Amino acid sequence: MSTLLEPSLEFVFELRVEVDLERRIGHGTSEALGFTPITGGTVVGPRLNGRVLPGGGDWWIARGDVTQLDARYLLEADDGTVIDVVNRGYYVASDDLEQRLAAGEPVTEQELYYRTAPVFQTDAAAHRWLAERQFIGMARPEPGMVCIRVFELR
């Protein structure tokens, strides 16, 4: 009988994604639909450095304490390569936690379930590894931005 592989994670970079004020698109009886514009940011880490290009955004649907995220944006690596990102995930916060965030209090990644699964596309040989692996993100809000620590699933 063979031994099953246990997954592990390798930190590859942190995205510090600058955002503008959210725009409410609609609101039904049990959900809200919105859009948060992405205005820029940075990419810093052991395997990728660069910047987040302005112009993308995060379309989201909130149902109670759970918000489903669908962010689409572009990165530009230090070598000039443009990398497409589709980053889907979930943000789960209680009313108490939302009030703390609104008051400017920091919250930890342990307190806030803010997880993503970014998918990258590029044809650049130097960055092809991004388009050939599965990643997860551990996110947290900071004033004017969302910070996402990105890990390769090994």
Query: What are the tens digits of pLDDT across the range 125-152?
Result: 999 999 999 999 999 998 899 999 999 9
Structure tokens at 28: 């039904």
Q: Report the alpha-carbon distance of residue 136 to residue 150 in Å, rounded.
A: 6
Kindly report the number of other CB atoms within 10 A of residue 15's CB atom: 27
Q: What is the pLDDT of residue 1?
A: 64
Evaluate whether residue 3 is within a structural domain. Answer: no
Domain that holds residue 103: 9-153
Evaluate whether residue 2 is within a structural domain. Answer: no
Question: pLDDT band at 53, cuts 50/70/90?
Answer: very high
Evaluate whether residue 145 is within a structural domain. Answer: yes
What percentage of the chain exceeds 70 in pLDDT? 99
Which own/partner pairs from 49-57 qualify as long-range (CB within 8 Å, at least 24 positions apart)? Answer: 49/13, 49/77, 49/78, 50/75, 50/76, 50/77, 50/78, 51/75, 51/76, 52/15, 52/16, 52/17, 52/18, 53/82, 56/85
Evaluate whether residue 28 is within a structural domain. Answer: yes
Query: What are the tens digits of pLDDT across the range 83-103?
Result: 999 999 999 988 888 898 888
Q: What is the DSSP letter of 33?
A: E
Q: Report the alpha-carbon distance of residue 54 to residue 57 in Å, rounded.
A: 9
pLDDT surpassing 80 at residue 67: yes
Query: What are the tens digits of pLDDT across the range 1-16?
Result: 678 999 999 999 999 9
CATH number at residue 25: 2.40.160.20
pTM here? 0.92
Evaluate whether residue 101 is within a structural domain. Answer: yes
Q: Greater confidence, 118 or 30?
A: 118
Evaluate whether residue 4 is within a structural domain. Answer: no
Evaluate whether residue 129 is within a structural domain. Answer: yes
Number of domains in the chain: 1
